[in-house]
Structure 1
Amino acid sequence: MARQLNYHDMHAVFTRFREIEPEPQGELHHVNAYTLLVAVALSAQATDAGVNKATGPLFARVDHPQKMLDLGEEALTEAIRTIGLYRNKARNVMKLSRILVEQYGGEVPSSRAALQSLPGVGRKTANVVLNMWFRQPAQAVDTHIFRIGNRTGIAPGRDVDVVERAIEDNVPAEFQLHAHHWLILHGRYICTARKPRCAVCPIFEWCQYEEKTQ
């Protein structure tokens, strides 16, 4: 586990990320808070590209929890069958859609606790929705961010909760809103799991990774 970067280096790292991509965007396609929630819930143990392929036709017809209930579980299951764990995910989407209609007037709540009470919605999913739709500086720690946090020294920690707190505690406030997107993109395209592309890494000079290549 790398040592925690100091404030000066953290500021330099995220300044560099911002210079490269001032307004980073999530890669899951959606049209509103509800479709974002569904897309993120479907993305567990699946790629964003795979989810987008399935939800493109789905979201063209279904963009509200009541429409999902009208569609029915059987049709939803068929629509997302290319996504891993699709049967269980379809059941959860139907359940959360009913709760949204019956308890929240069809609207997606902006509370982490309320989001996490929905079937199939964990802390990471809730944080993505809070960040991307409600513009809250919530940090959704996935496998990329966990790896990057520990490898670089940006947010070292032995589990996702510790890494999440490390980001919240150590990333300068001006970068909090976009921090998790910058880290995800860095993990997907530069600091990859098996063979990090250190030769083209924009934060090479601050990275604490002992095995980084020259």
Structure 2
Amino acid sequence: MPVSAGELTRRRQALGHDRHWAGRAAKRTVDVVGAVVLLVLAAPVLLAAAIAVRADTPGPALFRQRRTGRHGKEFELLKLRTMRVGSERLRAALAVRNDADGQLFKMRHDPRVTPVGRWLRRYSLDELPQLVNVLLGHMSLVGPRPLPVEDSVFTGDARRRLLVRPGLTGPWQIGGRSDLAWEDAVRLDLEYVETWSIRKDLAILVRTLPAVLRGDGAY
């Protein structure tokens, strides 16, 4: 029996939805398996780094901060502490020394960063606890940069960044990190959101390690 044009359209839409669902399910599987494997491998490094943070300056080893996740839902991001306790209160006073633009706040020579923290940041070791966020479903291994809630002003096209989970790494990580202009970072994130695939995620993961070891744009 001939199939009507309307039925063909419906079937194409259903197929597209199924493929999209299958892709998201595969991405989540890669996230969970990858996070578990990386946590096991990184456990000795995490332990040593946490001890170094505690020995360097008074305060906890972990730093917690509210970030904006998928669909604008907030979550508590975990990092190894790289600043002295209470440093967040000094941010307003340091705003005139911001080396970034747009919604980002970065300083090449931030006086709040501890000696151990500077080393952890250079090699992104402070971000390893975010593997727990990946396991909890707050984040993905690959995705847009997770912005602090106070910096998360999404208007116009930038709101499309919220269609996927933020990532532990992403196109910004391999494209210059903190040296990227805000407009370039948003452009890379939007391009990722619109074209992501498991193959692209794996390619970004492979390219992340060399970028981290070079320390480009890390401060």
- Shared fold (TM-score, shorter chain, > 0.5): no
| TM-score normalised by structure 1 residue count | 0.29
Larger strand proportion, structure 1 or 2? 2
| Higher Cα Rg, which structure | 2
| TM-score normalised by structure 2 residue count | 0.29
